[in-house]
Amino acid sequence: MKRGSPELEINLQELAAQLHACVTRLFPICRSITGDGVRETLSILSETVALDIHNVPSGAQVLDWTIPNEWNIRDAWIKDASGQRVIDFRQSNLHVLNYSTPVKRTMSLEALKPHLFTLPEQPDRIPYRTSYYVENWGFCLSHAQFEALPQGDYEVCIDATLAPGNLCYGEQLISGGTDEEILISCHICHPSMANDNLSGMAVAVHLARHLQALSEVGALRYSYRFLFIPAAIGSIAWLSRNPEVIPRIRHGLVLACLGDSGAHTYKRSRRGNTEVDRAAADILKHEPHSAIRDFSPYGYDERQYCSPGFNLPMGRLTRTPNGEFTQYHTDADNLEFVKPEQLAKSLLTCFDILQLLERNRRYLNQKPYGEPQLGKYGLYSNTGGSTSSPARQLALLWVLSLSDGEHSLLDICQLAELPFAEIANAADALAQVGLLTEA
């Protein structure tokens, strides 16, 4: 499949299989904002693209936050009086309150209940809950399972450590023709949830692989920086440690929830009308049922990148947004919930947005006094008098008319109400014969 210029050759079915295989391989790992699960995840992602792994030590100050102690878990259970595991971490890593402090004791059901978390409104699902910055311990279970627990004593064990260590994140920089950057970010801190977490990782790492191939043949205008980070604290740590990079970021996307059956939803940057906001809107207008939403300070790491002090041009691309599908933050966000073809189409949508940004430029008309005689440049029909105006010829005229150094090709396509590719192709043709130069 060819998708414009630069070219991206992709077999949709093969890509879909690769993406779902990536999600499947990562799914069993118990991840958190720190720990061995993050390291294992980054190691697997590094098999697709070479990642630089960064370590930020516990206790380090990053903006207004402090890197917490590292959490690792080996096993956890609740056993009844017969010694049977009624809650078993080995069956689902969502069963443990993420970041639980270690515990081993015997206690009554009444004493245990404050440490049990359920979803009464979804009684058959295990919820995902965390306690990153307040020490606590607990178990998550279905409400049906909770109600079936008989009175009596239970043996409780969480075999975990919470000790000084590191927060880890992965980064890859793909060089383009300039040092101006497009930032792509996804979070890697959730345990076994396929859509919220793994879909963004899979799309991002395979998008990086394709862009790396384009970089190797000199086909990229921008440089691309990919971040695989724990949510919130990871982006805060990266922003704190990279002040020299921030001025180079021209556009950016946060990727998450890209494998469900819903249409795409794009969330604008805090600025609201940046080039990436307009590019995403232009691409998604061709997708049925897609949506564009205004910025809000809730969601994923876009709220860190777009915070007032940084105010980066970062939008967010999802399918069904976080919190708006019933499987969100439960064990129902599983491998069956994410669809291989949806993952592949999400990657192609990302690429289309990036391709538009790559091709969007401002030009100067080199013959601005009157309309140039396009026929002698091989750009116009030699037969006049037609009442119809073919799209290509109309695009040529629009580009010539608005190539004043002020209007970008995206501006022109929206004013002309013509597809961006038609306008960009017209600009390429005009530039090839010397009628346009880049502003």
**Non-local CB neighbours of 279 within 8 Å, separated by 6+ positions:** 251, 353, 356, 357, 360, 410
- Give the 3-state secondary structure of residue 207: helix
Q: Which CATH architecture has domain 71-163?
A: 3-Layer(bba) Sandwich (3.50)
Tokens 């270690």 correspond to 102
d(CA 322, CA 175): 32
The answer on pLDDT for 7 being more than 90 is no
Q: Is 350 left (phi over 0), alpha (psi -120 to 50) or beta?
A: alpha
**Non-local CB neighbours of 19 within 8 Å, separated by 6+ positions:** 202, 203, 206, 259, 340, 343, 344, 347
d(CA 42, CA 301): 18
The string of pLDDT tens digits covering residues 119-152 is: 999 999 999 999 999 999 999 999 999 999 999 9
Using alpha carbons only, what angle is made at residue 194 by residues 132 and 189, rounded to the nearest 5 degrees?
25
At position 340, the amino acid (one-letter code) is P
- Give the 3-state secondary structure of residue 353: helix
d(CA 140, CA 117): 5
The answer on pLDDT for 183 being more than 90 is yes
d(CA 159, CA 73): 6
Q: Are 30 and 190 in contact (CB under 8 A)?
A: no
The answer on pLDDT for 20 being more than 50 is yes
Chain-wide mean pLDDT for the chain? 95
Structure tokens that stand for 268 in this block? 């604008």
Q: C-alpha 208: how far from its chain's center?
A: 12
β-pairing verdict for 291-293 and 436-438? unpaired
- Give the 3-state secondary structure of residue 139: strand
Q: Are 152 and 109 in contact (CB under 8 A)?
A: yes
The string of pLDDT tens digits covering residues 270-297 is: 999 999 999 999 999 999 999 999 999 9
Q: Does the 12-67+166-359 domain belong in CATH 1.10.3720.10?
A: no
Tokens 């010829």 correspond to 393
Closest C-alpha to 239, from 305, 190, 193:
305
The string of pLDDT tens digits covering residues 362-410 is: 999 999 999 999 999 999 765 444 444 578 899 999 999 999 999 999 9
Model pTM? 0.95
Q: Are 435 and 377 in contact (CB under 8 A)?
A: yes
Percentage above 70 pLDDT, the chain = 96
Helices 409-416 and 275-284 sit at what angle, rounded to 10 degrees?
40
- Note the pLDDT of residue 387: 42
Structure tokens that stand for 116 in this block? 């049990």
The string of pLDDT tens digits covering residues 72-103 is: 999 999 999 999 999 999 999 999 999 999 99
Residue-range domain boundaries for the chain: 12-67+166-359, 71-163, 362-438
Structure tokens that stand for 223 in this block? 């440089």
d(CA 251, CA 315): 8
- Give the 3-state secondary structure of residue 339: coil
- Note the pLDDT of residue 310: 98
Q: 362-438 in CATH: which number?
A: 1.10.10.10
- Give the 3-state secondary structure of residue 254: strand
